[in-house]
Amino acid sequence: MRYRRVKGTRDILPHEAEARRGLESQVHEQLSKAGFLPILTPTFEYYELYQRSTGESSDIVTKEMYRFQDMGGRDLALRPEGTPSVMRAVLENRLKIPIRLWYVMPMFRQDKPQKGRYREHTQVGVEVIGEAEPQADIELIKLGFDLFTLMGIKGMFLELNTIGCRECRSGYTEQLTGFLKEHHDELCADCKVRMNRNPLRVFDCKVASCQSILKQAPSQRDHLCSACIEHFDAVKAGLERFSIPYEENERLVRGLDYYSRTVIEFKSSTLGAQDTVCGGGRYDYLMGELGGPPTAAVGFAFGVERALLASRGEGIFEFNQSSIPLLLLPLGDEAKVYSLELLFKLREAGIGVQAEFRSGNLSKQLKRANTRNACKVLIIGENEIASGKFILRDMQTGDQQEVGFDELLNLFCSAKGQSC
């Protein structure tokens, strides 16, 4: 019996791995220009960190976390999302605030595998820590918008909402709870729990009957305090000024406890029912929850798999099937030894070159060169070693020419050795 990968995990094969590297370097370049510094945190943390920050009532903590005990009896969890551990790291290492950080790290959630979502998946996250002004929200949204445009995400649109602050949310929560109590019997089992723990969460419910009840739910708009209204109006005015199209969605709440005010989701119409590419917003209360000083923050995160899915076939992710620009074909044992020396010299000169060390006559070696997708081959036999002149053959046209080492360098260095 052969081993198989665990359900919900996947192998990222060279073709896609290459595309991911392209995406990550694009992201890195754009974020560096905006002053974001990279950060990496451990793959596992104390369970309590997520319980405290992501929240005891969240689906992530109650249903989806990989929670385990190590041999020292520590209660640990594989990282289900990046923000809590990044904020923990900022606090623990006393990083100076304000600071802008970004990461690309694997996340682990044991939820139902669905299109573009896996139990281990890679997220890019962006955190602006210590900036409370609406301009920070606008800058961040514009950054995301430009990034996804650059990546070629198709059918992209932005949804926007505000969930107010602690002061103005409590009045609304009370009214919402009253409404939910009236409809208690019609709600799904999860929503009955949410109703008591964190009523706003009911808006995350995917059950159709709950969603239709919630259409009549009271609106949070009527409860916002003047500071929250002012903040939201400033964000919207900014988006309009910089021509970033958005739709207001009053039901957009995000499933995490630490969010406040601005909530955003970038979606793609190509992804079907699970159309969210990127989620984010303000989390002004998180640092305080983790025992730090009250610190405003705003950020977003997106799954690399989903972003690739929503942009497949566009611009930066296209690349040629891997080919070997130059393949050395030694004929005989002496030539093999010589080829190795030549290989290192050429590579030192910056040429992308490999060698075929299996034994065989010329026709067999040429066949192998074809299978390996070589652009050009250099044939090296006893005579060639003696004269220092080799036969360079173009595998597509079959053209051959005699070249010395220096000529070879010139030929490949001028073409950077990459073109076929």
User: Which parts of this chain interact with Zn ion (CB under 5 A)?
Assistant: 164-165, 168, 188, 191, 205, 207, 210, 225, 228
Say which residue the tokens 């010589």 belong to.
338
The residue type found at 60 is I
**Shortest distance in whole angstroms from residue 260 CB to Zn ion:** 8
Q: CA torsion angle for 244, 32, 262, 147 (degrees, to 10)?
A: 40
The residue type found at 14 is P
Other C-beta atoms lying within 10 Å of the C-beta of residue 197: 13
Closer Cβ to Zn ion, 298 or 308, answer by number: 298
DSSP H or E stretch at residue 260? strand 260-268
Closer Cβ to Zn ion, 124 or 210, answer by number: 210
Distance in angstroms (rounded) separating the CA atoms of residues 333 and 337? 7
**Shortest distance in whole angstroms from residue 228 CB to Zn ion:** 3
Distance in angstroms (rounded) separating the CA atoms of residues 85 and 89? 6
Handedness of CA 160, 163, 164, 166 (dihedral sign): negative
Integer distance in angstroms from the first to the last C-alpha of the chain?
A: 42
**Shortest distance in whole angstroms from residue 229 CB to Zn ion:** 8
Closer Cβ to Zn ion, 165 or 377, answer by number: 165
Find, among 184, 193, 165, the residue nearest to 296 by Cα: 165
Give the β-pairing of 374-380 and 390-394: antiparallel
The CA angle 32-151-245, to the nearest 5 degrees, is 95
410: CB partners within 8 A, 6+ apart: none
How far is Cα of residue 110 from the mean position of the Cα atoms in its chain?
18
**Shortest distance in whole angstroms from residue 203 CB to Zn ion:** 10
**Shortest distance in whole angstroms from residue 227 CB to Zn ion:** 6
Closer Cβ to Zn ion, 164 or 330, answer by number: 164
Say which residue the tokens 């990989």 belong to.
66
**Shortest distance in whole angstroms from residue 266 CB to Zn ion:** 25
> Residue 3, class by beta-carbon neighbours within 10 Å (0-12 exposed, 13-18 middle, 19+ buried)?
exposed
369: CB partners within 8 A, 6+ apart: 327, 329, 356, 377, 395
**Shortest distance in whole angstroms from residue 64 CB to Zn ion:** 17
Closer Cβ to Zn ion, 232 or 412, answer by number: 232
Closer Cβ to Zn ion, 170 or 269, answer by number: 170
Find, among 157, 164, 207, 162, the residue nearest to 186 by Cα: 207
Closer Cβ to Zn ion, 54 or 220, answer by number: 220
**Shortest distance in whole angstroms from residue 206 CB to Zn ion:** 8
Closer Cβ to Zn ion, 19 or 165, answer by number: 165
**Shortest distance in whole angstroms from residue 187 CB to Zn ion:** 6
Closer Cβ to Zn ion, 228 or 392, answer by number: 228
Q: What are phi and psi of 22, to 5 degrees?
A: -60, -45
**Shortest distance in whole angstroms from residue 99 CB to Zn ion:** 26
Closer Cβ to Zn ion, 91 or 188, answer by number: 188
